[in-house]
Structure 1
């Protein structure tokens, strides 16, 4: 369903379960579709997934893609849909958003789960140029799913993108715009949010894939500057998208943390 915040439509899914509430945030160029299996695995919770502005079925061309706008969207969802503190889960950019929400509104976040997420500030003009080049290289519209698969491949991430393609009269289109994605990640890259991370004092789970995007030194620094309430889990496998390619380990770690806390 969609909820309206100002000029922005935010698409959410809500399991409407009776258990403790969990809100899940996807990463850049993703959507709540890729979090469906995670939500389904938390059947003893009420799980809300959110399509970030500029992503999925939310407003495609928002006028503001700042970190503050993303944070305000999540705060709005928690307050208007759930009306109580939640466990907040985020992957990659969604984890960065979750971290900032927990810092800005600790009254709304009881516990935090970060999958392949950090404080940001680690991108640059070259990385954003590479990102733009990749997304603009997609020969869209794809004629059908087979054409999309021939170009994108058959990795878990590619399958996730293909499953989320939007059918239009002229073919299949991604549910994001390359320029919006580059502008969005530029705000994450702007500067590292160490003060926000160091300010947190809630039970937190930091999860990393064996083949993720963070170096050993970066992960160690992240942990050393976090509070004593941060627990680290490293998977034996899994990439930056470990919720897709190490899903069993991910679900096990997530459920164990939510139950334990």
Structure 2
């Protein structure tokens, strides 16, 4: 059976559902002090449970919400639209319908890209922005690369344990395996390959540097030493928005939120959503 990704430290989430434009968004809500809200966005092919260990620690200090983005997890599996604008509108719907107050918006990978676009399009809605292994540059080959990765999965996995081993074992493997569901005698993803590939179409086609420049809330960029963001892209981000704080996590890869949740929690704990123009440094 799946391991407890919080190590038994967390009280149960309150499950909530947000509806927008015919799409059902499954949310996990952990209560906390009023006015210190955090909204967490997972990456492509992921799920809200990726944030459980970070959220368990943050939940002692803040209200924390994570949700399965459209096409992922327990949310609507085959939405009619997977544009960047649709993902952003879902974020705004979660903020509005769950009554979040200027939350700190945190996203990893595709979730970070969504967070960046949401902050750019809705100034004043978020108290701060944290991008984890995410940036605005175009990625022309990303659809082919992701399709190849997904096609390499030996589906169906024979068991949860086999899946966890395939994904690298340990805490990281367990969290990826938690994104699967048992059916038809095996373990399968809670998403469809074509939806994942289509979700990357705009990121493959064009860059989003103008949107990055339009973000006006305090911003922290967190990258892994062995992550996927090229140094030139990070340099370009800091050149266009020099007030941004950037942190590199030694030894970390793209899934640094799974590899080093304690480090990320420490970084997030130092941020405040009470003062929209306060420096994060």
Pair in the same fold by TM > 0.5: yes
1:27 corresponding residue in structure 2: 43
Partner in structure 2 of residue 245 of structure 1: 259
Query: How far off its partner does 1:242 sit?
Result: 0.6
Q: Which runs of 5+ in 1 are unaligned?
A: none
Counterpart for residue 236 of structure 1:
250
Question: Which residue is 2:185 aligned to?
Answer: 170
Match of 2:240 in 1: 225
2:56 is matched with 40
| Separation (CA, whole Å) in 1 of partners of 2:20 and 2:216 | 29
1:239 Cα offset (Å): 0.5
Number of the residue aligned with 1:179: 194
Q: Please tell me whether the aligned partners of residues 201 and 227 of structure 1 are also in contact (alpha carbons under 8 angstroms).
A: no
Structure 1 CA distance for aligned equivalents of residues 182 and 51 of structure 2: 20
1:51 aligns with 2:74: no
Q: Select which of 1, 9, 26 maps to 1:11.
A: 26
Equivalent-residue separation in structure 1 for 2:54 and 2:101 (angstroms): 21
Q: What residue is the counterpart of 2:9 in the other structure?
A: none
1:160 matched to 2:183? The reply is no
Aligned-partner Cα distance in 2 for 1:235–1:164:
25
The whole-number CA distance in structure 1 between the counterparts of 2:162 and 2:98 is: 39
The structure whose RCO (Cα within 8 Å, separation 6+) is larger is 2
Deviations 1:58-104 (A, max 9, x none): 11111100000000000000011125321111111111101111111
Q: Name the structure with the higher helix share.
A: 1
Q: Which residue in 2 is equivalent to 1:209?
A: 224
Matched, 1:143 2:173: no
Once the two structures are overlaid, the 10-residue window that deviates more, 144-153 or 212-221, is 144-153
Post-superposition CA distance 1:108-134 (Å, at most 9, x none): 11111111110141232xx42232122
Count of residue pairs the alignment pairs up: 258
The unaligned stretches of length 5 or more in structure 2 are: 1-15, 274-278
Equivalent position SS for 2:127: strand
Q: Are residues 1:78 and 2:95 paired?
A: yes
Distance 1:212 1:178 in 2: 23
Which residue is 1:104 aligned to? 121
Give the Cα separation in 2 of the matches to 1:151 and 1:227: 40
What's the Cα RMSD here?
Answer: 1.8
Say if 2:164 and 2:176, in contact at 8 Å, map to a contact too.
no
Cα contact 2:120–2:212 (8 A) shared by 1 = yes
Match in the other structure for 2:270 = 256
Q: Could you tell me which residue of structure 2 aligns to residue 130 of structure 1? A: 145
Residue 61 (structure 1) aligns with: 78
For 1:33 and 1:113, the matched residues in 2 are separated by 18
Q: CA deviation at 1:38?
A: 1.2
Offset of residue 7 of structure 1: 1.2
